[in-house]
Amino acid sequence: MREVFLVENIKCHGCAGTISTELKKLGTDYQVHVIPEDGLVEIDSNQEIDRNIVLDKLKHLGYPESADNNVLRKAQSYVSCMLGRIHTAE
């Protein structure tokens, strides 16, 4: 099963790393692929993927679905981006 999400605020591979790490916690066999330049998050899984749970997690991280354009979420995405860069550098 594959689900594709178009989200806001993905700026770099640090953002992609944060998104990937956090979404993998939602499903034991989730294969997460993030395409920063297109704002796409793809999840492949043998299990059913609950879109609402994934969207809630993305929103909480500061990467809401494209239609949601909230300033606070953009600020959250910058923090997530910086954390992702730190973890990627380790």
Question: What are the residue ranges spanned by the domains of the chain?
Answer: 2-89
Q: What residues in the chain have per-residue pLDDT under 70?
A: 67-82, 84-85, 87-90
Nearest residue to 7 via CA among 49, 83, 45, 60? 60
* Sign (positive or negative) of CA dihedral 45, 46, 47, 50: positive
Cα 66 to Cα 23: distance, rounded to the nearest angstrom: 18
Cα 83 versus chain centre, distance: 13
Which fold does the domain 2-89 belong to in CATH? Alpha-Beta Plaits (3.30.70)
Nearest residue to 81 via CA among 61, 53, 56? 61
